[in-house]
Amino acid sequence: MDEAALPEFFMLWQRLANVQLVPEREDVLLWRWSTDGIYSAQSAYRAFFAGQVRAPISEEIWRSRAPYSCKFFAWLASKNRCWTADRLRRRGLPCPSACPLCDQEPETLQHLLLGCVVARETWAWALRCWGREEWLPDPDTDLLEWWTSRACPTAHRRNMWTAIILVFWCIWRHRNDVVFNGAVASHGAIRDKVREEFERWRLAKLFRGTFFVFLDPTVVPWQDGE
């Protein structure tokens, strides 16, 4: 017997020491992933995720009401896995030499979604709509830090995460329009996309209440304490 097997043999011996076999009783197969011991596809699927640990940001993204394709994009963005120039360059793939929106800075996801002058104009407008101008990111603001530290009343949290994902999604789509379809980069085009998309999401009841709307900034829908 090889040396590694010996300790395993003794462990098994110890565990089986109290097992009494009853010859007249037939062996039964028990499925340990369900309470009744019976196999079901649902319990097998759940078993895949046993022991998984989810990051708080992922929980918020999946709890938001954004459409699945947008949640998936947001989840990739939270892991910095979107195909911006820095990532493409690391893999030796063709990539824009500068940020396609401002043509001034190297393109990273953090720059594109928050720090870029075009993105910041979009945020300045969206945050004015929400009455939250103080949330305006700086050019160097850390994406995850900013994204996860926005505070709002619990009742509106899902709206807020949905609204933030909507803005990120529209910036990303506009960036792709510029890179792949020759569109002209502009804050106005992103704002139009946000409004158009918002209207669809609102009709689909993905937003509840009037706190994270994208109206003219003269309308301030959010009051503290609500």
- Binding site residues, Zn ion, CB under 5 A: 99, 101-102, 116
Distances (CA, A) of 64 to 61, 132, 163, 222: 5, 20, 9, 19
State the minimum distance, in angstroms, from the CB of residue 116 to Zn ion. Answer: 3
122 touches 171 (CB < 8 A): yes
Q: CB-wise, 156 or 187, nearer to Zn ion?
A: 187
Minimum distance of Zn ion from residue 62's CB (angstroms) = 29
Residue among 105 and 131 whose Cβ is closer to Zn ion:
105
102 vs 179 by CB, closer to Zn ion: 102
Close Cβ partners of 18 (under 8 Å, ≥ 6 residues apart) = none
Q: Count of residues for the chain?
A: 226
**Whether the Cβ atoms of residue 171 and residue 154 lie closer than 8 Å to each other:** no
Nearest CB to Zn ion, comparing residues 99 and 160:
99
Nearest to 163 by CA among 107, 208, 104: 208
Closer by beta carbon to Zn ion, 158 or else 187: 187
Beta carbon of residue 89, minimum distance to Zn ion (angstroms, whole number):
16
Q: Which of 23, 45, 18 lies closest to 34, judged by CA? A: 45
Least CB distance to Zn ion at residue 102 (A): 3
Burial of 74 (0-12, 13-18, 19+ CB in 10 A): buried
Q: In the complex, what is the shortest distance from the CB of residue 104 to Zn ion, in angstroms, rounded to a whole number?
A: 6
Q: What are phi and psi of 72, to 5 degrees?
A: -65, -45
